[in-house]
Amino acid sequence: MRSLFTLLVILFSANLLLAQREITEDTGWSLKDRLYVGGGLGMNAGRDFNGYRYFYAQVSPILGYMLTPKLSTGVGLNYTYLNYTDFNVSTSQYGGNPFLRYNITNELFAITEYNFISVDPDFLNDNDKRQVFERFLLGAGYTQRIGARGAVNFVALYDLQFTNTGPFASPWVFRVFFSF
């Protein structure tokens, strides 16, 4: 019980150090005052719907700049690694996503982004030809503050250019990421 309490105190203290940048009309134009970073990590292993074993890892950092107290812009990068251990094949997907975010309230925001991703759509057949797929995403999100500057963000986006010919199974994109 004591170790659980110690762990909770450490986690709570660490969360207080994470900070979401807030600016006012009087904030200076220096990067230190207006820059924010964040991102997400993902990992999964198991069996797919056909019963084949796989391993999946993802990293997606973001870098943003607050233009006004309500409007920010930035860029995100994403990298995904997928390995099918039963076949000894793997692939990587990578891309970027410039974004524009408008804070409606302290908790709610609207977001749009242009997302592009380079994939090998036929990697199971050892085909090294990559394709770039694009998405124009529009959506909304909710921010839950953690301490003075940190936040966890929940986002739902819809792909306005969705077709069934790409690697994406749905026009909907859901994300959870941290910023400070």
Asked if residue 148 lies in contact with residue 120, where contact means CB atoms within 8 angstroms, the answer is: no
Q: Mean pLDDT of successive 10-residue segments in the chain (180 residues)?
A: 39 35 66 87 89 92 94 96 89 95 96 93 70 94 88 95 83 88
CATH code for the domain of 134: 2.40.160.20
Return the pLDDT at 159: 96
What local confidence, expressed as pLDDT, does residue 23 receive? 64
- Confidence (pTM): 0.75
Asked if 117 and 94 count as a contact pair (C-beta separation under 8 A), the reply is yes
Domains of the chain: total:
1
Q: Say which residue the tokens 């026009």 belong to.
A: 171
pLDDT of residue 126: 62
Question: Residue 161 sits in which domain range?
Answer: 2-179
Do the strands 150-159 and 131-146 form a parallel or antiparallel pair, or are they unpaired? antiparallel
Distances in Å between the Cα of 138 and the Cα atoms of 33, 60, 96, 115, 133 are 27, 18, 16, 11, 17
Q: What local confidence, expressed as pLDDT, does residue 2 receive?
A: 42
- Which of helix, strand or coil describes residue 2? helix
- Sequence letter at residue 40: G
Q: Which helix (H) or strand (E) holds 8?
A: helix 2-17
